[in-house]
Amino acid sequence: MTKNIDLNFRPTTYFRPQKLESYLLSKVKGAVLRKKLQALFDEGRHAEVSQLLSAEGISAADKKALESVHPMFMGGNYLPDTEEGEVEIGRISIQSTTYDVTCVYAKPINGEIHYRIVDEYNGETLEAPTEAVSKLPMSLQEFRDFFLKGWPLLDVLEMNFEGDLDGCLDFFTCASDFYPDFDWACRDFVIENYPVDDEDETEAGDKCPICEKFNATPSGDTCEHLCAWQWDGQLEIVNGASSQESHWTDLVDLVSSREDESPEDVILKAQEKKSQTRAQLIDAASRGCSLLEVLTDVLGAKSGDGWSTSGMLGGAGFNLFIDDPKKLRALDKECVLLVEACTQISIEVGVSGLEKKRPQKTVDWLPVASGLWEEDRYHSGHISYFIANVSPGNWIMDGVSRNTMLDDVTEEDVEEGRLNDDQIQAMWGQTLEEAQNAEYREIVAACSGVTSEVSPYEIAQILYRAVCDDGGKEISEFDRSNGLLDGPPVSQPEDKNIQSASSAKPKSKSSRSKPGGNAAPVDSDSSKSKNSKVDQKKWSKILSALAEAVDPTAQLNQIANDGAVPPVGNVTRLLLLSWIKAKPLSGGKFKTSDVNGFGVSGNHEEPFLSIVLGRDERKLRVLEDIRCNDPESYSALLSKLKLVADSAKKKRPEIKNMAMPAIGKSMLSALYSYGENLLTGVPCATA
147 in Cβ contact with 159 (< 8 Å): no
Parse the chain into domains and list their residue ranges.
Answer: 20-193, 206-343, 349-403+438-522, 533-676
pLDDT at 654: 86
Whether the pLDDT of residue 683 is over 70: the answer is no
Task: Give the mean model confidence (pLDDT) for residues 214-237.
Answer: 84
Find the mean pLDDT for residues 69-95: 78
C-alpha–C-alpha distance, residues 491 and 574, integer Å: 11
Average pLDDT over residues 476-489: 75
| pLDDT at residue 184 in the model | 93
Q: What is the DSSP string of 94-139?
A: E-STT--EEEEEEEEETTEEEEEEE-SSTTTT--S--EEEESSPPP
Across the range 300-326, mean pLDDT stands at 80
Which one-letter amino acid corresponds to residue 217?
T
**Given this model, what pLDDT does residue 535 score?**
59
d(CA 10, CA 472): 83
Lowest mean pLDDT among 78-82, 332-336, 373-377, 459-463: 373-377
**Residue 557 to residue 85: CA distance in whole angstroms:** 105
pLDDT score of 516 more than 50: no
pLDDT for the residue 218: 75
Cα(497)–Cα(520) distance, rounded to whole angstroms?
12
Write down the pLDDT at residue 227. 86
pLDDT tens for 605-620 read 988 998 899 888 888 8
Predicted pLDDT of residue 377: 65
What pLDDT, on a 0 to 100 scale, did the predictor assign at position 33? Answer: 58
Tell me the β-bridge partners of 113.
108, 134
pLDDT above 80 (res 498): no
Average pLDDT over residues 163-181: 89
Condensed to tens digits (0 to 9), the pLDDT of residues 177-193 reads 999 999 999 999 998 88
Whether 335 shows a pLDDT value over 90: the answer reads yes
Instruction: Please say if the pLDDT value at position 73 is more than 50.
Output: no
pLDDT of residue 596: 56
pLDDT at 72 over 80: no
Q: Is the peptide bond before 129 cis (omega within 30 degrees of 0)?
A: yes
* CA separation for the pair 220, 319 (Å, rounded): 12
CA distance 74 to 67: 6
- pLDDT above 80 for 470: yes
Residue 502 has pLDDT above 60, yes or no: no
Supply the pLDDT for residue 31: 55
Cβ atoms of 179 and 9 within 8 Å: the answer is yes
- Write out 554-584 in H/E/C secondary structure: HHHHHHHHHCCCCCCCHHHHHHHHHHHHCCC
Q: How confident is the model at residue 523 (pLDDT cuts 50, 70, 90)?
A: very low
The residue with greater pLDDT, 68 or 453, is 453
Higher pLDDT, 300 or 537: 300
The mean pLDDT value for 491-515 works out to: 32
pLDDT (average), residues 433-453 = 89
User: What pLDDT is stored for residue 179 in this prediction?
Assistant: 95
Contact in structure between 553 and 589 (CB atoms under 8 Å):
no
H helix count then E strand count, the chain: 25, 20
What does the alpha-carbon distance between residue 38 and residue 22 come to, in Å, rounded to a whole number?
Answer: 9
Looking at per-residue confidence, does 328 or 497 come out higher? 328
How far apart are alpha carbons 278 and 191 in whole angstroms?
Answer: 54
Residue 454 host element (H or E) = none
Interval 26-39: pLDDT, tens: 555 555 556 666 66
Question: Mean pLDDT of all residues in the chain?
Answer: 79
Q: In this predicted model, what pLDDT tens digit does every residue of 140-152 receive, in sequence order?
A: 999 999 999 999 9
267-276, 450-459, 485-494, 551-560: the lowest-pLDDT one: 485-494
C-beta atoms surrounding 479 within 10 Å:
24
Percent of the chain scoring above 90 in pLDDT: 30
Q: 200 pLDDT band (50/70/90 cuts)? A: very low
- In this predicted structure, the answer to whether residue 492 has a pLDDT above a threshold of 70 is no
pLDDT one-digit tens code per residue, 384-441: 999 999 999 999 999 998 888 887 888 888 888 888 877 788 787 788 888 878 888 9
Q: What is the pLDDT of residue 203?
A: 63
Question: Hey, which of 104-108, 406-410, 590-594 has the most confident mean pLDDT?
Answer: 104-108
Query: Is residue 46 scored above 70 in pLDDT?
Result: no
User: What's the pLDDT band for 221 if we cut at 50, 70, 90?
Assistant: confident
Q: Is residue 490 within a helix (H) or strand (E), and if so which, with residue range?
A: none
Q: What is the pLDDT of residues 283-292, one digit of tens each?
A: 999 999 998 8
| Mean pLDDT on 593-614 | 79
Asked if residues 509 and 436 have their Cβ atoms less than 8 Å apart, the reply is: yes
Compare 468 and 655 and report the one with higher pLDDT. 468
pLDDT band at residue 632 using 50, 70 and 90 as cut-offs = confident
Helix axes 553-562, 570-581, angle to 10 degrees: 130
pLDDT > 70: percent of the chain: 78
Q: Tell me the pairing of strands 226-231 and 315-321.
A: antiparallel
Rounded distance between C-alpha atoms, residue 331 and residue 347, angstroms:
29
SS (H, E, C) 616-653: HHHHHHHHHHHHHHCHHHHHHHHHHHHHHHHHHHHHHH
**In angstroms, rounded to a whole number, what is the distance separating the alpha carbons of residues 382 and 372?**
4
- For 141, the 3-state DSSP assignment is helix
Q: Is the pLDDT of residue 108 over 90?
A: yes
The angle subtended at Cα 548 by Cα 542 and Cα 553, nearest 5°, is 65
Q: Please report, for residues 23, 264, 301, 328, 341, the alpha-carbon distance to residue 291 in angstroms, rounded to integers and kept in the order given.
A: 60, 22, 11, 11, 21
Q: What is the pLDDT of residue 2?
A: 53
Q: Residue 536: what pLDDT?
A: 67
Question: Cα–Cα distance between 269 and 497 in angstroms, integer?
Answer: 26
Which residue, among 187, 186, 185, 182, has the nearest Cα to 90 in the 3D structure? 182
User: Which band of pLDDT confidence, cut at 50, 70 and 90, is reported for residue 310?
Assistant: low
Assess contact for 30 and 75: CB atoms under 8 A. Answer: yes
- Interstrand relation of 302-303 and 112-118 (parallel, antiparallel or unpaired): unpaired
How far apart, in Å, do the first and last CA atoms of the chain sit?
83
Mean pLDDT of 671-677: 87
SS (H, E, C) 50-76: HHHCCCCCCCHHHHHHHHHHCHHHHCC
Check: CB of residue 456 under 8 Å from CB of residue 620. yes
Residues 662-678, mean pLDDT to the nearest whole number: 81
The predicted structure's pLDDT at residue 371: 87
- In contact, 391 and 361? CB cutoff 8 Å: no
Phi, psi of 13 (to 5 degrees): -160, 160
Are the C-beta atoms of residues 539 and 567 closer than 8 Å to each other?
Answer: yes
pLDDT at site 188: 92
Instruction: Assess whether pLDDT exceeds 80 at residue 24.
Output: no
pLDDT at 30: 55
pLDDT higher than threshold 90 for residue 658: no
Pure H helices in 513-567: 527-531, 536-548, 553-562
Statement: residue 530 has pLDDT above 60:
no
pTM of this structure: 0.47
Query: Is the CB of residue 485 less than 8 Å from the CB of residue 368?
Result: yes
Surface-to-core class of residue 219, CB atoms within 10 Å of its CB (0-12 exposed, 13-18 middle, 19+ buried)? exposed
